[in-house]
Amino acid sequence: MSPQKQDRLITLEEFIIQGQNRFRGATGDLSQLLRDIGLAAKIISREVNKAGITNILGVAGSTNVQGEAVKKLDVFSNNQMLHALARSKIVSLVISEENEEMIRMQSSTGKYVVFMDPLDGSSNIDVNVSIGTIFGIYMRTSDNEDYPVDVDALQPGSQQVAAGYVLYGSSTIMVYTTGMGVNGFTLDPSIGEFFLSHSDIKIPEFGSFYSINEGNYSSWSPGLQKYIEYCKENDKSTSRPYTSRYIGSMVADVHRTLLKGGTFIYPESRTKPNGKLRLMYECNPMAFIIEQAGGMAIDKNGDRLMDREVKQIHQRSEVYLGSRENILACADFMKKYKSQKSGPSEKKLEEAFH
């Protein structure tokens, strides 16, 4: 999707208010929440762009709930997002990658629950590769007069009322959906304002790109191995071989997939049978965006990812998302070779090299 061309630039705030005005009786709470997230994104973007000269690069000296080294920018981004979500007092629960437990906000009657990865791709911070923020927003299911409970957070992705991401790259772009299509906004740093740049984004029905870490090939399922081999075969009638593109930052890889088409896959493996990415604040928000843009997001069984049962807030998952034709082809390979066992076990591989 090419950038939006228009006579007058529309700001993020104007766009949000216009969307709100389409609904009779709308309270404006969700609009306020999205504006608060946009403000946090501006502050994070500013720090990301000057990180190398403000001593904010490097490791903070701790690990998060996933056992990963926490970067200084992780801590900063988490704090900025929490501050933004507390500002409007309409959020009762926040679940962050950086915090082991659910965070109950001071406004216990707030109607929204927010999942977030405040700085996705943080392992790339010190090498100046694009990183991002991911968020998914839900309406709480318990009575607003009571304190929020665990069930408020354990909702399937299909119950999201909004989701989005912010990409901090050559430019800062915020992409979000409220279930009525997908729109992207680019930050003009000279005046500190997001402007509509990608209106009503539609992912191509087919794309000649695939994004996956091929270094893990030997631990994949036979169906996925066969699909990637298919992608690499030479067949001009089907535009193959496809082009491999993998950055290692989910926001960057999914953003490219959204605009250019193709597939983004982070699969299960022998060492990580449940996948590595987090279902609630990485996979489900991206799945919502891709679906709203006309694409598909499935699990290893070919089922809709956003229908998956949620059992814990930091639950891990595999994810297969992208252009409809590509994902359907991948699902066919997965189904066809599902009964076959994967390649040699790690023990056998070790024996082979000794």
The dihedral built from the CA positions of residue 20, 21, 22 and 26, taken in this order, carries a sign that is positive
Amino acid residing at 250: M
Contact 164, 175 (CB under 8 A): yes
pLDDT by position in tens, the chain (length 354) = 445 555 579 999 999 988 877 765 567 899 999 999 999 999 999 988 875 555 545 455 555 555 554 568 888 999 999 999 998 889 999 999 999 999 999 877 899 999 999 999 877 777 888 999 999 999 999 887 778 888 999 999 999 999 999 999 989 999 999 999 999 999 999 999 999 999 999 999 999 999 999 999 999 999 999 999 999 999 999 899 999 999 999 999 999 999 999 999 999 999 999 999 999 999 999 999 999 999 999 999 999 999 999 999 999 999 999 999 999 999 999 999 986 654 444 444 344 333
Q: Provide the whole-model pTM.
A: 0.89
Helix (H, G, I), strand (E, B) or coil at 160: strand
CA 229 to chain centre: 26
- Closest residue by Cα to residue 109 from 142, 78, 154: 142
Q: Which residues, in sequence order, are bridge partners of residue 240?
A: 235
Amino acid residing at 257: T
Contact 297, 318 (CB under 8 A): no
- Fold of the domain spanning 12-198: Fructose-1,6-Bisphosphatase; Chain A, domain 1 (3.30.540)
How many Å apart are CA 57 and CA 7, to the nearest integer? 40
Helix (H, G, I), strand (E, B) or coil at 10: coil
Name the residue ranges covered by the structural domains of the chain: 12-198, 209-352
Interval 221-230: pLDDT, tens: 999 999 999 9
Q: Which residues, in sequence order, are bridge partners of residue 136?
A: 115, 163
pLDDT at 352: 38
pLDDT at 73: 86
Helix (H, G, I), strand (E, B) or coil at 191: coil
What are the backbone angles phi and psi of residue 288, rounded to the nearest 5°? -60, -45
- Closest residue by Cα to residue 320 from 277, 272, 259: 277
Q: Where are the beta strands (DSSP E) in 140-255?
A: 160-168, 172-177, 182-188, 193-198, 209-211, 243-244
- Closest residue by Cα to residue 252 from 80, 120, 76, 157: 120
Residue pointed to by tokens 């500013």: 46
Q: Per the omega criterion (within 30 degrees of 0), is the bond before 241 cis?
A: yes
pLDDT at 20: 79
Interval 296-338: pLDDT, tens: 999 999 999 999 999 999 999 999 999 999 999 999 999 999 8
Amino acid residing at 186: T
How many Å apart are CA 236 and CA 14, to the nearest integer? 46
For 209-352, the fitting CATH number among 3.40.190.80, 1.10.8.620, 3.30.413.10, 3.10.20.810 is 3.40.190.80
Task: Give the Cβ contact number of residue 130 at 10 Å.
Answer: 21
Residue 114 exposure: Cα atoms within 13 Å on the Cβ side? 30
DSSP 252-303: HHHHHHHHH-SEEEE---SS-TT-SEEIIIIIHHHHHHHHHTT-EEE-TTSS
